[in-house]
């Protein structure tokens, strides 16, 4: 990147931006945008959101004294320009690669990332916490939260605003509105009014009015206050935010860097004890024509050709697990009018968009509101409908109380399609599906399944359609299937029954989920050493196939369970069963292979599983170690 850009080449940290004239900032923004497009074309990642906030990012670091002043980016997928300007431009082409930069904000990565994020709608809460901490510590540093209109659809954002509005703590929230029609289109007059309303003159006038009216009756004071609020609301359209206790400024053009700088400067310097919301209008994908023309504005992309915008496509013709789920659900819905598809702002990621094209009246995208999605599904279930809540494992965590209270306790037949189960590669630990086996299988009244391949996924969907007396969940990984033929929608599973894949002797590998192929590879390696393990696909973590477990415990000396989940999951339930039945009191050895007790950084999935100790080599070594292990009890005095 050396000597490529007139301005960006000389910018390593925000302190360098402050050396520029304000008139030069737009040229720096152009450089940042070009570099971001170039970098993401090589790495893949989130493009559209970052392109929309280039001018805002430059302006924020120009006006505020980061890292002392804190900028909290909601979700974090729009922070690539921020990373370029905060000492990381030389590593920007390592985005989402092993040992490279995270695709989101990460505290351990940079002091300019004061709060880690990847799930949405956390910025206002965390910013308020930092602002209150500053207040308690008598610090005058500014705190800014940048949140998109999509993230504003989550209840947590409004909970935070409600709290902030009554806190009398100065903080700044920037609403980056690139889609939702919160206000009328932006014009030059609105930008001008925003500058005036955020300026010292207006605030001084406001304080003067307060001083004057204090000498008169309370009745006059109330009228004056109402008049001012009415005038400001009528001008800015900020009634909602005003009612939550925020001083509203905007909307302004988020790509007019001079307007942004003026407003940020005014808001930073003004002596106002309370939260301020600046509403900016931006265009997702701004400045790259292929992103601007794309329906999703290049939100998340694979590697692509900068000159044509054409993205690299998977060479595999094998359908993804997500598509298998969607296509199977469509087939069932063609026969059963009670089937409903629900997603929480991830229609394409979960395949509900495919379902929605066929059955728009039975498809519901509730926005970034997983809690609502679960209870909404529960309500549908009470009336005899068959809701399928398709939610990533990592996002379902956000609705756990609703899963427990509104679904499990009432034993309502909500079907949870849990996508992105297990490790997910470049998105890293924030998006890994590590905990759903544990947090669902621990609940009474739940059926928990995991697909070992795409054919098993179809059978699990078929089975869940007919479960009408309790909740059920089936989990499946990100990516393509194994390439096997798919069964018809008539093929179902017997609840709580596993299957023996290959018979063997002495050792049994009990797989739960998508590690089955690694178990089969390990079997081949072990057979060359004279070891012939039995391979079992458990299918169900709850209810367990107790008859099968009993039989293999009697017939084998070693049992090893394998799952793509944390402690407390399938293996813990197996251990509990073996203990309860006193099967561990004999010479039986039992081991469980789970995800390690740590968060695993982003990398290629196969390398992540190798690190996690869940690849075929690790399975082979676990078998050998268990066979050779001897229990030694040391006597103590």
Residue ranges per structural domain of the chain: 8-185+275-301, 321-475, 499-628
C-beta of residue 264 within 8 angstroms of C-beta of residue 258? no
* CATH 3.40.50.970 given to domain 8-185+275-301: yes
Please confirm whether the linkage preceding 11 is cis (ω < 30° from 0): no
CA angle 397, 401, 403 (to 5 degrees): 75
Active site (annotated) includes residue 398 = yes
Q: How many Å separate Cα 343 from the centre of its chain?
A: 13
Active site (annotated) includes residue 370 = yes
Given 106, 232, 281, 284, the catalytic residue: 284
Q: What is the pLDDT of residues 313-323, one digit of tens each?
A: 877 889 999 99
Topology, domain 499-628: Rossmann fold (3.40.50)
Given 370, 454, 563, 564, the catalytic residue: 370
Q: Is 534 helix (H, G, I), strand (E, B) or coil?
A: strand
State the first-to-last Cα distance of the chain, in angstroms, to the nearest integer. 67
Active site (annotated) includes residue 99 = no
Q: Scanning the structure block, which residue is given the tokens 């400024």?
A: 249
Q: Is 598 helix (H, G, I), strand (E, B) or coil?
A: coil
C-beta of residue 616 within 8 angstroms of C-beta of residue 524? no
Residues (pLDDT < 50) of the chain are: 1, 180-186, 189, 211-213, 215-221, 224-225, 227-236, 631-637
Q: How many helices (H) and strands (E) does the chain have?
A: 26, 19
C-beta of residue 626 within 8 angstroms of C-beta of residue 560? yes
Q: Where are the alpha helices (DSSP H) in 528-634?
A: 546-555, 570-580, 605-612, 616-628
C-beta of residue 198 within 8 angstroms of C-beta of residue 265? no
Whose CA is closest to 291, among 63, 542, 33?
Answer: 33
C-beta of residue 525 within 8 angstroms of C-beta of residue 620? yes
- How far apart CA 543 and CA 440 sit, in angstroms, is 12
Q: What is the pLDDT of residues 534-563, one digit of tens each?
A: 999 999 999 999 999 999 999 999 999 999
- How far apart CA 172 and CA 150 sit, in angstroms, is 18
Q: At what angle do helices 188-198 and 257-269 cross, to 10 degrees?
A: 20
- How far apart CA 184 and CA 206 sit, in angstroms, is 26
Q: Scanning the structure block, which residue is given the tokens 């989101």?
A: 104
Residue 437's pLDDT is: 97
C-beta of residue 471 within 8 angstroms of C-beta of residue 439? no
3.40.50.970, 3.90.1150.10, 3.40.50.2300, 3.90.180.10: CATH of 321-475: 3.40.50.970
Measured CA distances, 528 to 283, 532, 605 (Å): 60, 9, 27
Handedness of CA 146, 149, 150, 152 (dihedral sign): positive
Whose CA is closest to 11, among 57, 45, 71?
Answer: 57
Which two three-digit tokens encode residue 24? 């030069």
User: What backbone torsions phi and psi does residue 279 show, to the nearest 5 degrees?
Assistant: -100, 115
Q: Is 383 helix (H, G, I), strand (E, B) or coil?
A: coil
Which two three-digit tokens encode residue 624? 């050998």
As a whole number of angstroms, the longest Cα–Cα distance in the chain is: 97
Given 70, 89, 398, 415, the catalytic residue: 398
**Residue 367 zone, left/alpha/beta (φ > 0; ψ -120 to 50; rest):** left
Residue 184's pLDDT is: 42
Q: Please, what's the b/e burial string for 156-174 (b: 16 or more CB within 10 A of its CB; e: otherwise)?
A: bbeebbebbbebebbbbbb
């Amino acid at each position: 990147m050396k000597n490529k850009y007139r301005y960006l080449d000389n910018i390593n940290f925000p302190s360098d931006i402050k050396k520029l004239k304000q008139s030069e900032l737009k040229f720096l923004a152009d450089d940042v945008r070009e570099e971001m497009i170039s970098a993401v074309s090589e790495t893949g990642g989130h493009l559209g959101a970052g392109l929309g906030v280039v001018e805002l990012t430059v302006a924020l670091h120009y006006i505020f004294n980061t890292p002392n002043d804190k900028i909290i980016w909601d979700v974090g997928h729009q922070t690539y320009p921020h990373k370029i300007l905060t000492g990381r431009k030389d590593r920007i082409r390592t985005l989402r690669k092993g040992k490279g930069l995270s695709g989101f904000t990460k505290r351990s990565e940079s002091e300019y990332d004061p709060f880690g994020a990847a799930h949405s709608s956390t910025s206002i809460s965390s910013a308020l916490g930092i602002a209150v901490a500053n207040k308690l510590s008598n610090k005058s540093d500014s705190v800014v939260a940048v949140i998109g209109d999509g993230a504003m659809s989550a209840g947590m954002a409004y909970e935070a605003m409600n709290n902030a509005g009554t806190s009398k703590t100065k903080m700044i929230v920037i609403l980056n509105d690139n889609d939702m029609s919160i206000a009328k289109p932006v014009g030059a007059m609105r930008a001008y009014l925003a500058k005036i309303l955020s300026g010292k003159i207006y605030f001084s006038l406001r304080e003067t009015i307060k001083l004057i009216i204090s000498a008169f009756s309370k009745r006059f004071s109330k009228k004056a206050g109402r008049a001012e609020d009415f005038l400001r609301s009528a001008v800015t359209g900020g009634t909602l935010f005003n009612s939550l206790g925020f001083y509203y400024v905007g909307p302004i053009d988020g790509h007019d860097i001079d307007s942004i700088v003026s407003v940020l400067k005014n808001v930073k310097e003004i002596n106002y004890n309370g939260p301020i919301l600046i509403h900016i209008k931006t265009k997702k994908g701004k400045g790259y024509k292929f992103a601007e023309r794309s329906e999703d504005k290049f939100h998340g992309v694979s590697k692509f050709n900068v000159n044509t915008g054409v993205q690299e496509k998977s060479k595999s013709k094998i359908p993804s697990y997500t598509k298998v789920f969607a296509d199977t659900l469509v087939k069932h819905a063609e026969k059963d009018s009670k089937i409903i598809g629900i997603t929480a702002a991830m229609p394409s990621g979960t395949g509900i968009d495919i379902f929605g094209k066929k059955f728009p009246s039975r498809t519901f995208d509730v926005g970034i509101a997983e809690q609502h999605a679960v209870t909404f599904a529960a309500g549908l279930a009470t009336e005899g409908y068959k809701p399928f809540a398709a939610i990533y494992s990592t996002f379902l965590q956000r609705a756990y109380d609703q899963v427990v209270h509104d679904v499990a306790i009432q034993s309502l037949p909500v079907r949870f399609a849990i996508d992105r189960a297990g490790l997910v590669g470049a998105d890293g630990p924030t998006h890994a599906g590590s905990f759903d086996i544990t947090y669902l299988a621990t609940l009474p009244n739940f059926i928990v399944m995991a697909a070992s391949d795409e054919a098993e996924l179809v059978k699990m969907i078929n089975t869940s359609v007919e479960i009408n007396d309790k909740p059920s969940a089936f989990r499946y990984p990100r990516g393509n299937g194994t390439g096997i033929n798919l069964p018809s929608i008539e093929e179902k599973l017997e609840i709580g029954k596993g299957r023996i894949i290959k018979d063997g002797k002495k050792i049994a590998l009990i797989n739960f989920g998508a590690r089955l192929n690694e178990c089969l590879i390990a079997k081949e390696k072990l057979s060359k050493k004279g070891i012939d393990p039995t391979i079992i696909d458990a299918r169900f973590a709850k209810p367990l196939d107790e008859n099968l477990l009993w039989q293999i415990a009697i017939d084998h000396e070693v049992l090893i369970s394998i799952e793509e989940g944390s402690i407390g999951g399938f293996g813990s339930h197996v251990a509990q069963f073996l203990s309860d039945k006193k099967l561990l009191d004999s010479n039986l050895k039992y081991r469980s292979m789970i995800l390690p007790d740590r968060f695993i950084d982003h990398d290629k999935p196969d390398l992540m599983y190798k690190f996690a100790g869940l690849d075929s080599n690790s399975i082979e070594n676990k078998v050998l170690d268990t066979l050779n292990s001897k229990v030694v009890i040391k006597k103590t005095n």
